[in-house]
Structure 1
């Protein structure tokens, strides 16, 4: 069995995933990308609701619980608690050479978090998309473990931060790391503490750090920490 098939089966199976259409998460996002942009607590203890099929995510309880923010394929919006649209960004996209400072703008922050969470949650099923090209790379030694790897080339129709990404999977075919460029940095995202929610396995803890050209991860800074407290699918 090909590695991608093993991974998808271990995470719930493609048939089950394709029967689902929506997700709801209770989560917190933090790290130096946020504190350095003046948004240390804006995504703490929030609800994210979205589609498993299109890149759509709505956050409620952001900015200290006072606002909502929405990522849609054609627009980013910021809304008041009673649904009034306060700001809109049509046809969003971060500049190719954008640095971390761009996240100081709240619309860019919502775009960044929406793309991040949607891609986190839909992987590895996202890799089975017909326009995604994957190839298996030589295994990687991570501490005392050997992790298998896939390089993925993602199409421009999917909004991501890098068209080429490398995914690492442990002996149980669970995703443990992803490498790609992010806001001008070489970044490694580690994931662990997988839990089953309605038959879909989700890593509930993720940490993003800069990395060296040889793949060595720098202990500091911690660019981003994501903790998922609960998740549901329908």
Structure 2
């Protein structure tokens, strides 16, 4: 295993402890400019997000109606009642984003798919990097203010849905996540730089309180006036 990845995994809680749990849930409050571009209304209602740790599954509630939730897997996304009755579903959901640009409107199933893969990626970082099929290599560091952040480039296997096949993650001197760069392929492949802070101790793991994703400029710098997605996270629980 890559030396930097080994240090990163240990700093975030360690693979041995990670293997003892199967899921994590957290309360999320979401904002940012992406939703208006997609013709969606984003309210500040807290929602409960749950993902599996060792397979790609995610669900958020409420979604659309007080008694509705999502059911996301890479090959299928659905909106269902809390009793499991399917309201709407879409098979092979990635194909529904074909030829989309940043401004192409989304329907609720587009939103559910995006939320599912994005939050699974965020809530399992960095541990998913040790799963079979992921390729990880160290890249040039970035310098932010007076800090020097080492980087890992991760190539995702085809069976895992995420923003893009290749994504970059940057870590501070304490080996904790600071920044996550990617292209949003489901929205015209615009480049994003997401900043992560407010790390807290949760049952032996380090988990962030805030995520802020900006459009990334050609010099790898964020365009601070273009905040695309903001996520506040609290009340984590591993089970």
Query: Helix, strand or coil: the match of 1:53?
Result: coil
Distance 1:142 1:207 in 2: 15
Query: Helix, strand or coil: the match of 2:94?
Result: coil
When residues 96 and 171 of structure 1 are mapped into structure 2, their CA distance, relative to the original with a 3 A threshold, is: farther
* Superposition TM-score, scaled by structure 2 size: 0.91
Residue 85 of structure 2 aligns with which residue? 84
Q: Structure 1 residue 96: deviation in Å?
A: 5.5
Query: Helix, strand or coil: the match of 1:121?
Result: helix
Kept after mapping to 2: 8 A contact 1:138/1:149: yes
Q: 2:114 aligns with which of 112, 115, 120?
A: 112
Q: 1:178 aligns with which of 177, 180, 183?
A: 180
Distance 1:91 1:200 in 2: 33
The answer on 1:55 being equivalent to 2:60 is: no
Q: 2:218 aligns with which of 213, 224, 229?
A: 213
Q: Deviations over 1:29-74 (max 9, x none)?
A: 2211113323332573111122111111111112363531111243
Query: Helix, strand or coil: the match of 1:214?
Result: coil
When residues 52 and 103 of structure 1 are mapped into structure 2, their CA distance, relative to the original with a 3 A threshold, is: farther
Q: Which moved more, 1:28-37 or 1:217-226?
A: 28-37
Residue 20 of structure 2 aligns with which residue? 19
The answer on 1:203 being equivalent to 2:208 is: yes
> Gapped runs of 5+ residues in structure 1?
none
Q: Which moved more, 1:105-114 or 1:209-218?
A: 209-218
Give runs of aligned pairs for residues 1-234 of structure 1, distance below 5 A.
2-41=3-42, 44-63=45-64, 65=66, 67-94=68-95, 95=97, 97-102=99-104, 104-182=106-184, 183=187, 184-234=189-239
Q: Structure 1 residue 102: deviation in Å?
A: 4.5
Distance 2:87 2:57 in 1: 19
Kept after mapping to 2: 8 A contact 1:41/1:63: no
> Gapped runs of 5+ residues in structure 2?
none
